[in-house]
Amino acid sequence: MRAGLVAFLASLLLLGGCDPTGGAGGPRLYLFVPSSMADLTDAVTAEFLRVRKTEPIPVYQSSAGSQTLRIQIEGGAPADVFISADPEHIAALEEAGLVRDVRTFAYNGLAVVVPADNPAGIESFWDLPRAERLVIGTPEVPIGRYTRLMLAQAAAARPPGPGEARFDERVMARVVSEETNVRLVRSKVELGEADAAVVYRTDALGRHDLLMIPPPPEADVLAEYRVGLVVGRSQGREPDLVRVTAESWIDLLLSDAGRRIVSAHGFVVPR
């Protein structure tokens, strides 16, 4: 875990060109966001800096699988805002007293993506067993857990015929790689290393090199995104200033303006 924390801090150093633990250079804000939401939170941060009345503050964003971000926070990484694509990970931090004020602010659906030329001839969700090279997330990451839940629901909706394996078993037999975040899953199709993958719907929007195939209603799964304020990770920065700044960023995310940004990026906004 220590080596992973060092690598994480090094990545922030490359981003900002200064001490990521908040030494010289004044206050700063650290966002920990799932890979599937990195573009959206970039847009929220741009709006946050635009409307900020006081001196602009450097904002650093680390994106990875929610479980990886959780481990980094548990290991002491400097974080101020945590967004999780799976309630389990943020709930664990909340129970440990590391995150508070947790709220749900978005949902996302799943989809199968195939290359634009569709070499495996996958025309519908039920064609997934045709895939020769299917890529999904590992069981520990939200996209992997949601994928397995979706396949289990599909199998229950369509019981196998005599002598036929369950739908989810036939699909899992086609898996050639399991990745640790959804962007890595999608990249396998983009690089021609897979003829199908399961991603979030927002990861397929606007992609001319990919075809998106949504699951049927009986198999559909909604991923739930929650945001919370990370406690006690200011790492030498002024704690009150960090808290107020982080709360302001979260307030913008949950505001009408933030909800418009969330919706514009293809996520479902709760009522």
pLDDT at 232: 78
Task: Answer yes or no: same fold for 27-107+223-264 and 108-222.
Answer: yes
pLDDT in tens, 83-135: 999 999 999 999 999 999 999 999 999 999 999 999 999 999 999 999 999 99
Where do the domains of the chain lie?
Answer: 27-107+223-264, 108-222
pLDDT reading at 168 higher than 50: yes
pLDDT in tens, 230-257: 997 666 677 777 888 999 999 999 999 9
Contact 230, 73 (CB under 8 A): yes
pLDDT at 21: 42
pLDDT in tens, 8-50: 333 333 333 333 444 444 578 999 999 999 999 999 999 999 8
Residue identified by tokens 């107020």 is 244
Mean pLDDT throughout 72-84? Answer: 95
pLDDT at 236: 62
pLDDT in tens, 204-230: 998 889 999 999 999 999 999 999 999
Note the pTM of the prediction, 2 decimals. 0.85
pLDDT at 244: 87
The answer as to CATH 3.30.70.270 being correct for domain 27-107+223-264 is no
Q: Which CATH architecture has domain 108-222?
A: 3-Layer(aba) Sandwich (3.40)
Mean pLDDT throughout 156-174? Answer: 93
